[in-house]
Every structure is written in C-alpha cells, then in structure tokens.
Structure 1
C-alpha cells in the first residue's frame, strides 16, 4: 500500500493543500541537506545563502547594476552591499564603473566566480543524482514543476515587506 503523504498523480486525493505543503517542506529539507554536505572539491568556495542567490542571478545576467540584483534576489540594498563585499573578497565578482553613468556601478562575475559556480553545480548534481540512485524517470517533470514554482514565487514576491526569510518550524 502506498503512503498517502507521498502519493502523487491524479488519484492522490482532494487534499491538494497538504500535498503542496509536503512539496514545500521537502524543498526546504533538500536545500538544507545539500548545504549541510559542503563540497568535496577543495577548490569550491563556500557561499552563504544570500551569496548563492546573487551568484545564481549573475550566471544568467553576468553584468548588472546592484539595484537590479537586489530586485531579482529579494535582498535589500544595504544587505546586498554587504553580500557583494563578501563576494568581492572571495574573488567571485567585481564592481566596475558604469560606462553609461559615471556615478553608477555594474557588478560582473569574474572567471573565478563562473568556475566556482560550475564546480559547485557539478557537486550538487552528483549528490542529488546519487541520492536517487541515478533514477531520471521523473526528472524532467520535477524540473518543470519546480521551475514553475520558482517563477511564480518570484513573480508574486511581496514588494513592501522586509526580505528576511520566515523562521522555519
């Protein structure tokens, strides 16, 4: 008999709220497990969750003004400034004067930042793949669902709230 809490698909029952809560719980637990592992490759530069969010954004947008990074990541500008300082000290980003506006700056990933991101993604991939015994049967469906969740959450992020994460229960 299948465990109702983990059953998915059209016959899973009418209690969708509980299943969405289970998904959210699992995402948080998986994220923590990945962070808890650290990295096996000594070249990997460990990052705080906020530093990781900024580096993920900069992989898609390799040069961006701090205001755009703050909006995209949900970080307050003052917190972002601290995060960028840490990433600069680690050699992962650099701030450059904006050629279009001498008063402004843009943040750029460095070669070390791009290399580090690729390295840690390989480690995450290996850990997650190993955890599932390399089973890819539902991988595309999971990626589609989680991408939709991420996109929807980012799109509907409250604009007027402080962006500190809610306390975990």
Structure 2
C-alpha cells in the first residue's frame, strides 16, 4: 500500500523579517561557488607574475583612473604603507607612472602606464580564454543560457 504524503509548502519567511531560509542557503552556496570561481580565474591569470593585491590595485587604477597612493589604499581597504610598497613594485616594473599631485606637492598621483595596460589585457585574455573554454565544454547551450540569466540577476545582487 502506497503512503500518501501531503505536498510540502514552500518555506514561509520568518515573521521577524529575518532572511528567508532558502536565501540563507543560497547565499552560502553562492559564496562558496564564487570563491572557487575566483580562485580558478586567479590561477589562470597567474602567468602575469603579479600578486592578487598588485593585480587588484592595477585594475582599479585602470577602471577608476589616476589617484593618489592614499586614495588607492582606501579604495583597496589596505594600509597606506602596504599600498606604497605595492605601488613601488608596480612602478619598478614600469606598470604605473607617478606624477606630482598638482594640489599637494607632497603626494604623487599614480596612473596606469602603457605596459600596465598591456599586462592587464594579457591577464584578462587568459581569464576569458579559460572561462570561455569551460563554458563551451562543460555546459550545454541551455545551461549557458541559464548562466547568462544568472549573471544578469547577480548584477542586481551586487548593486544592493
């Protein structure tokens, strides 16, 4: 004799306004997968010989434009002394240029040099090549369409 069970209703959000149980679980899974994806992308861009901190600072300068070392340190959430070391290395490698700050001669404005743009383009190309290959070989066209939808939705989450 078959046992009949009641269909289960979707979880009800907590009355106290706390997170929905499904959202909390999804947040944990998303955080884990995003971390793994970022590690894989870093692995495939490691050929640049820049540390993740150096790549991040160089990328921010490329995206946001020239800024002082202090402003870059604040944006990257690191101590100014640490950022001075990072910028010093990037400058020694010819990846950034320093010019005197017109408003404060004690400071320098840091910008991406042409060689820095070339290195960033190589890093981005390596990441894109790996990820394109992974998407093409691991996912069906239908799954790739779902990933495209998810990317749009995740963009909304990032903006929250």
| Pick aligned residue for 1:33 from 36, 40, 45 | 40
Distance in 2 of aligned mates of 1:116 and 1:60: 14
4+ runs of 1 displaced by more than 3 Å?
Answer: none
Q: Which residue of 2 aligns with 1:161?
A: none
Equivalent residue of 2:132, what SS? helix
Distance in 2 of aligned mates of 1:51 and 1:60: 14
Q: Which runs of 5+ in 1 are unaligned?
A: 1-9, 153-169
| Pick aligned residue for 1:64 from 45, 51, 67 | 67
Q: Which runs of 5+ in 2 are unaligned?
A: 1-9, 12-19
Q: Which residue of 2 aligns with 1:6?
A: none
Going from structure 1 to structure 2, the CA distance change for 1:72 and 1:110 (only over 3 Å counts) comes to: same
Q: Which residue of 2 aligns with 1:23?
A: 30
Q: Which residue of 1 aligns with 2:151?
A: 142
Q: Which residue of 1 aligns with 2:96?
A: 93
1:146 is displaced (CA, Å) by: 4.8
Q: Which residue of 1 aligns with 2:57?
A: 54
Q: CA RMSD in A?
A: 2.6
Q: How does 1:8-19 map to 2 (within 5 A)?
A: 14-19=21-26
1:119 is displaced (CA, Å) by: 1.7
CA offsets 1:64-110 (integer angstroms, 9 cap, x no match): 11121111111111111111111112211122111232112100110
Distance in 2 of aligned mates of 1:108 and 1:38: 22
- Give the TM-score of the pair, scaled to structure 1: 0.70
Q: Which residue of 1 aligns with 2:108?
A: 105
Please tell me whether the aligned partners of residues 95 and 112 of structure 2 are also in contact (alpha carbons under 8 angstroms): yes
Distance in 2 of aligned mates of 1:47 and 1:116: 9
Distance in 2 of aligned mates of 1:144 and 1:89: 41
Equivalent residue of 2:49, what SS? coil
Aligned residues: 137
Q: Tell whether 2:85 aligns with 1:82.
A: yes
Larger proportion of helix: 2
